[in-house]
Structure 1
Amino acid sequence: MTTPGFILELREHIGHAPLWLMGVSAYIVDDSGLLLLEQRADTGKWALVSGIIEPGEQPADTVARETKEETGIDVIVTDLVAVKADDRVITYANGDRTQYLDHLFVAEIDPDGRSEPHVADDESLSVGWFDPDELPEPMTASSRERIAAARDFLRRRDDGDARAQFTFRGTAIHR
């Protein structure tokens, strides 16, 4: 995974100490309801498109940027589903420790920029559209959890539930 420059600069000062980062993940669907996934180069597991928010960048803009960079697809962000702190501190092979605050969004394909997904950088081995009921393996546990949360949110939203409430790792979230 490519490490953003601002993180490399911070690491010069803090070494491997735990670093709190904000990230995004995106439940991206096409017109037929297929879900866009990428197979991560670092783990080989399938996952939602995700990335780290750059300083000064809006989280929804991060979704659009990361999706374009990783899959070549232009998206329109439609909903914020959840903001959730990951309870794990991740230790990378180089010793860096990080914990994430994830912003889970729903996005759809920009009709003005429609194209087929493709591996657009070195962060993915493969990208493609999948039936949300038939997910590829292996898949990250966090993506499975986020997919379930997004699908529950969309069901509630589409049913007209003004609260669009769901439980995400035991925390009630209200829209």
Structure 2
Amino acid sequence: MGAPSDAELLAAHRAGDRHAFGELVARYRNRMWGIAVRTLRHPEDAADVVQEALVAAYRGAGAYRGEASVRTWLHRILVNACIDRLRKERRHVTVPLADIEPRERRQDVATDVVTRLSVVDALAELPPHQRVAVVLVDVQGWPVDEVADVLEVPVGTVKSRCARGRVRLGALLGHLREEER
């Protein structure tokens, strides 16, 4: 018998198993943090939002209806928490340089840093719904239909948010193409 499924773990949690939810957290915490940090731009905010989302999921497990996968349900809670945080706080923060690729993969450190910071700044300029869609689809590589489930919108809405976000990013990052010449 293999590892229990997400749905089995959530059911066990709801039935009183004190360790089941911890297994779900172990499965998804890193992915959730990755989405949060790319959406919010600040590691401490991302950590706070992931914790808030996990606490909300822990407390709200009884409300899980099973209409979406447990993964989708958890990420929906996270995305909503990220959007709430974006609406509440409009502050400018920097991205830690520790996220830069290892030295052996870099050609020019200064160019890489400027590019990364430019992309992060440009993402921050997008409206929250476009930013979340672009982060999930283009940065995290999620399928559009899963993003639609997480955001609780039609697939076409996700596609249009991504398309609008990409156009805006293109305009904001056009200077990077000019610098390559």
Shorter-chain TM range is under 0.3
Q: Which protein has the bigger helix share?
A: 2
